[in-house]
Chains A and B, each alone.
Chain A
Amino acid sequence: MKMRILIVEDERAIADLINMNLTRVGFACDWAHNGKQGADYIETNKYDLVLLDIMLPEISGYELMEYIRPMKIPVIFITAKGSVKDKVKGLRMGADDYLVKPFSIDELIARVESVLRRYHKGMQVVHVLDIQIDTLSRTVMQNKKIIHLTHKEYDLLYYLVQNQNIALYRETIYEKIWEDSEYRETRTVDLHIQRLRKKLNWNEYIKTIFKIGYMLEVKS
């Protein structure tokens, strides 16, 4: 079953950005464009996580937070206010994390997953095709056997799993995994992809996309 996330954000552009990316990673998202609607949604539906903007018209994020807190739903604040004072206030009020605008998509996904992992133990193990990835111990199991992967191979695999069914550029993959935007050693990416295919026997799943890069295809 998919995790459900509520986005309370008055800016349509930001809401759409979060929505599109979280949906892509495999969450179900609802969007409330003000505090009142947010409260209504929380009352009628069951959510695993709320992404809450602080500067909302009428009912502010802090006020809505007071309403959400007794329900024990994890909350991540999204705000332009990045001062330590504001962060502390948010966290004191019971928020689980704090996302300051402008944020990158990777940061958003990482924080969402980290909060969910804390609340739901099941989140720490990801099932994809015939493997299980334990995100805490960073181990990969296939047919009840541990597959030994190097750090970079693990990171690459996890990145592909996160972005399954999406064609990823070689350069981007390199930037993300090797955290280096100066030298785009795409050959390194090719090499690691080959190693992964061999170790997991995933030749048919990790596809080479012409002129672009690679894609992990998971047919539902």
Chain B
Amino acid sequence: MRFAEKIVWVCLITISIVFSLGSTIMIVRNHQHLLDTTIKQNIAFHEMSIYSLESKVFQDYYRRDLSDETQIQERVRYYIKQFETSIKSVTYAISNTQDQVIYSYIPQELQTYITKQNDQVYHIVNKSKQFMIMTSQVKIGNTVLYLTGCYDISPCFEEKNRQVITFVMIDITVIGISYFILRFLSRYLTQSIEKLNKTSQRIASGHYGERTQIQTQDEIGELSQSFDEMAHMNEKRIEELKANLEQREEFMGSFSHEVKTPMTAILGFAEMLYTMDCDEETRRKAARYIYKEGKRLENLSYTLMELLSLGDKKIELKTICIDHVIQQLKEYYQNKDNIIFHTHSCQVYSHQELLFTMMRNLIDNALKASLHNEDVIIETLLKDKHLTVMIKDQGIGMSEENIQKITEPFFMIDKSRSRAQGGAGLGLSIVKRICDVHQTQLNVESQLGKGTIISFVLEVQNNEE
């Protein structure tokens, strides 16, 4: 059963129980009250009738001098008939002290209730009608008679039945109306749950971008918000994994190409040398290729090791003096006279070996781009606790689209030239990894034919100028 339906039925059952209980109590109390009133009225009426009968017969008794008991009975009968004709809901019976019924208009089956016991109230159900029977003593002179009145109290019960029927009708109507209102309301209330459900199903079927976007202020709203957050995190994670996988696949593809190409050459030329007696020229050529391609493999393995070692371990940064790194670089490039250093001396938050590797790679690239030994300038800029390190060259520069790709592993703008200079296309991948460790970014500005400026920012610690 749907949740909305459950709400509807629970409410309906509650409403009908409470409503029926209330109505029943009301009907019962109403009926009781009405019955009591009717009985009291009838008693009063009966007493009045006795009194009026006694006084009327008594007057006659004196005026006409009714000495005979039969004559008195005759008068009584006469007056009672008068009463009966004036009020329709009452019938009377008269009996004497010997329990003999002298006169009776009471229906045959109620005759047994005629007694001479005084002031007795009976409530009898007869067929579909209800009667109240009451007997009182009538005294006229020495004559004692008993008057039994039979009052029809059916309207009292008819009223109750009418109320019950009305109640049932109202009950049905109320439940019917409630059902439709509840249905509408519960639909409205549960539509966000429905939406949540649909969204999660869509996410499960692969539409990771789906969101519930329910903005209500209740628990469902909160749940939806948490759900959306979760979906967002999941989507991000899945995308990350996908990107990661793609990157890895691309890396493996490039890597296998980079390894298999020199391997093919080495194996092929070695096979040639081994299988047949080649002439001098071919032999030298083959040997040269084997050496060159072997060198390339060696280079690749070193660079790759460097890159991989950066990926594995957690690198801790500490405060170092940038002067040491500059000194190290100056020693490394002592044979090059076209490198100019304009640097500040300060303490930066970094790692000596990594900073050296990074700057060495960048300077190597700058040198490779400077085909005619143009100057390469290393400059630093100190501003607000940040040190910007710039490597400027006036070399061949890069196009806009190539700048986007330079940090991809094995990417080379000019393959044959890079090869000739012993590159494998991994230098800037290493630089990027080191930048990630420093939580800084590599900024590249370049113009074809004019040169390139590569810069990165380091955090300055306890600056002493």
Of the listed stretches B110-118, B177-185, B270-278, chain A binds B270-278
Indicate if B292 sits at the interface (CB-CB under 8 A): yes
Residue on B nearest A10 in the bound complex, by CB:
B415
Enumerate chain B residues within 8 angstroms of A20, measured Cβ to Cβ: 272, 282, 285
Question: What separation, in Å, do the CA atoms of A72 and B277 have in the docked complex?
Answer: 38
Q: How far is the CB of B290 from chain A (nearest CB, A)?
A: 9
Summed over the interface, the residue pairs from A and B with CB atoms below 8 Å come to a total of 81
Does A147 interact with chain B (Cβ within 8 Å)? no
- Assembly CA distance A82 to B271 (angstroms): 22
Interface size on B, residues (CB 8 A): 27
Which of A16, A80, A104, A105 contacts B256 (CB under 8 A)?
A80
Summarize B's interface: helix, strand, loop or mixed: helix
B92 within 8 A of A: no
Given A81-B253, A81-B256: A101 touches B276 (CB 8 Å cut-off):
no
Partner of B289 from the list A17, A55, A57, A168 (CB cut-off 8 Å) is A17
Asked if B261 is an interface residue, CB under 8 A from chain A, the answer is yes
The answer to whether B272 and A14 touch across the interface, beta carbons within 8 angstroms, is no
Does A168 lie within 8 Å of B275, measured CB to CB?
A: yes
Q: How far is the CA of A20 from the CA of B281 in the complex (A)?
A: 12
Q: Are B275 and A104 in contact (CB under 8 A)?
A: no
- In the bound complex, residues from chain A placing their C-beta under 8 Å from that of B267 are 102, 104
Known: A13-B292, A101-B261. A57 touches B277 (CB 8 A): no
Q: Does B257 contact A (CB under 8 A)?
A: yes
Q: In the docked arrangement, what's the CA distance between A203 and B289, Å? A: 37
What is the bound-complex CA distance between A11 and B292, given in angstroms? 12
Q: Which interface residue of B260, B262, B289, B416 has the most chain A CB atoms within 10 A?
A: B260
Give bound CA distance, A167 to B276, whole Å: 6
CB within 8 Å of A: which of B198-242? none
- A209 interface residue per 8 A CB criterion: yes
A67 at the interface (CB under 8 A from B): no
Residue of B whose beta carbon sits closest to that of A175: B275
Point out the residues of chain A lying under 8 angstroms from B265, CB to CB.
11, 13-14, 17
- Min CB gap A165→B, angstroms: 10
- Write out, one digit per residue, whether chain B residues 262-301 have a CB within 8 A of any chain A CB (1) or not (0): 1111011101101111100010010001001100000000
Q: How many angstroms from the CA of A17 to the CA of B263 in the assembled complex?
A: 12
Return the CB mask of B249-262 against A: 1 if under 8 Å, else 0: 00001001101111
Q: Using Cβ atoms and an 8 Å threshold, which residues of chain A touch B257?
A: 55, 80-81, 101
A172 CB contact (under 8 Å) in B268, B274, B415, B416: B274
Say yes or no: B289 contacts A16, CB within 8 Å.
yes
**Bound complex: CA A169 to CA B264 (Å):** 22
The 5 closest A-B pairs by CB, nearest first: A167-B277, A13-B265, A102-B264, A80-B260, A101-B260
- B residues touching A (Cβ–Cβ < 8 Å)? 253, 256-257, 259-265, 267-269, 271-272, 274-278, 282, 285, 289, 292-293, 415-416
A–B complex contacts, Cβ < 8 Å, 5 sampled: A11-B265, A17-B264, A17-B268, A33-B416, A101-B261
